[in-house]
Amino acid sequence: MEAKDVLVWTPELEVSLFHSMKGHKPIGINRHFHMACIHDKFTTSTGKRNISSEQLWQHLKELYNLPALNEAETIPFPNEENEFNLPDEIFEPPGQGGSDYNDDEPPGSSSGLKLKLQSVTASGSRPTTPDTSPKRKRTRGANTSQPPSPHSTPTTTKRRR
């Protein structure tokens, strides 16, 4: 059966669809994730792997006014619009304290990367003093405040597996 074929919705298929929708609402901002779960449950319960999620969407559109339900659904997180201004350095031409981005070249071009690499090495981002501290091996006891000792064995009778 192709996606454009008409699916005959029997009462058994509709009941399977409603059981698959239990716990999932195909509306709101997460509707496509919920539809993926519904589709998976539906194809598993019916054994019909040739039913597409588009066919499920079409049937739900016949049963419900999905655009109105999408509008009525609230967003599960705060979504406030805040005014902001970009820093002036972004709009300055290259070489005047702004970014080293050249408008004539795409952002991933090799000359732009070379220029950034040169500016990083010229700025002296390397540490000036060598790290002479000894390297310590991290162990399980390294995170405790007391050093491990053989005299501090656990007093519980539980065996470790």
* pLDDT tens digits for range 42-87: 999 998 888 999 999 999 999 999 999 888 888 777 778 888 888 8
pLDDT at res. 1: 45
Tokens of 160: 């470790």
* pLDDT tens digits for range 112-152: 555 555 655 555 555 556 667 777 777 776 565 555 556 65
Higher pLDDT, 156 or 16: 16
Residue 18 has pLDDT above 90, yes or no: yes
pLDDT at res. 19: 94
- Report the C-alpha dihedral over residues 137, 142, 147, 152, rounded to 10 degrees: -110
Whole-number Å distance between alpha carbons of 151 and 161: 21
Question: pLDDT-derived band of residue 156, with 50, 70 and 90 as boundaries?
Answer: low
pLDDT at res. 114: 59
pLDDT at res. 29: 87
Which sequence spans correspond to the domains of the chain? 11-72
pTM passes above 0.85 = no
What angle, rounded to 10 degrees, do the helices at 11-20 and 31-46 form? 130
- Report the C-alpha dihedral over residues 144, 147, 149, 154, rounded to 10 degrees: -20
pLDDT at res. 34: 94
> What is the C-alpha radius of gyration for the chain, rounded to an integer number of angstroms?
31
pLDDT at res. 3: 47
Category of 53 on φ-ψ map: left (φ > 0), alpha (ψ -120 to 50) or beta: alpha
